[in-house]
Structure 1
């Protein structure tokens, strides 16, 4: 998972994989069948382990603004951990790959859509609870904050410090809709 996360699917060679796992080529094929099958397992493992915090935060019993602010703050910390590759494996994975890997690109796009849908669902709950104005364009707001998170991923991959990502998150929260339909920055 870490190799794919750090180097991407196409940047990780078969030799890299067997060396990291300490197994022979035949053992690799017996266990995983193909590099693509292993990649799919790695994505699932990432989503369950490193990506679970996203869903956990969305499910916390707090008002919607606090939830989103916590999500962005936690993302800044998570994307800049010293013990893991920078950024988010799903956000940066398979956005650019050869035409022969269209299936993997679609898998990653589906994963990213699931995260955005989860955020939109939490924002809808916020409207129902009165945390957000009823006129809020939920899908656009979810797309905005997911774009912000993906931008933070790229910043982290480029070496941005956690403090920089926290500042981006702070500025991003200024776009939060207010009860009168404006934004926090207005």
Structure 2
């Protein structure tokens, strides 16, 4: 005769199996950990930031880091996304809200200076400074960041094109040269900020850069 099935035991087993499937709950704040890791990469660069540095600063174990973020490279990319979302200048929204192309570029450069020189945070743009001294083995990482930096130039060019369509820029203005010039100014501001140039001096660079606007006619 077949013994009756123990429903309670089956239910308990299924519950325990589901708990194991979900794994142990995280014992740290993932957003806070990303912020701390981002600051390390931003300050010291990708290669100079070791796994031991990350584990010590985040105060987590290696298995926890790998489980939540993957390896060091994957964590770095997560930090880049976090930086772009929370720390980088909001160039898209600035360009959308500005009434003219000139106002858009000027607002962007001034706001960018504010982001490049913040209290208690690394100076400069993470997209520029975090892979400056990387070796050839990280060539792909450098290329990925180069593409992100080039995206700024593309956005500037597209905003200038919009200015022509809107009628606030003349048809014969040299848009390519303008995009090159102002994206170069943007990157130069980052390096100057890294070299501890005062924010007032950086803002004056922006003021001078806007004075040459009409030279592109």
**TM-score of the pair, normalised by structure 2:** 0.78
2:62 is equivalent to residue 25 of structure 1: yes
State which structure, 1 or 2, has the greater radius of gyration over its C-alpha atoms: 2
2:162 is equivalent to residue 131 of structure 1: no
Residue 6 of structure 1 contacts residue 85 of structure 1 at CA under 8 Å; is this kept in 2? yes
Deviation per residue, 1:8-66 (Å, 9 max, x gap): 10121111111111111122222222100000111111111112522221111411111
CA distance in 1, matches of 2:113, 2:53: 29
Residue 89 of structure 2 contacts residue 112 of structure 2 at CA under 8 Å; is this kept in 1? no
Instruction: Please give the secondary structure, in 2, of the residue aligned with 1:39.
Output: helix
1:140 to partner: Cα distance: 2.1
Deviation per residue, 1:150-182 (Å, 9 max, x gap): 10000100001110101100111122136xx54
In structure 2, the residue matched to 1:172 is: 209
Q: Can you give the 5+ residue segments of structure 1 that lack an aligned partner in the other structure?
A: none
Residue 93 of structure 1 contacts residue 108 of structure 1 at CA under 8 Å; is this kept in 2? no
Residue 88 of structure 2 contacts residue 115 of structure 2 at CA under 8 Å; is this kept in 1? no
In structure 1, the residue matched to 2:195 is: 158
Q: CA RMSD in A?
A: 1.5
CA distance in 2, matches of 1:74, 1:102: 31
Residue 58 of structure 1 contacts residue 122 of structure 1 at CA under 8 Å; is this kept in 2? yes
Q: Can you give the 5+ residue segments of structure 2 that lack an aligned partner in the other structure?
A: 1-37
How many residues align? The count is 180
**TM-score of the pair, normalised by structure 1:** 0.90
In structure 2, the residue matched to 1:80 is: 117
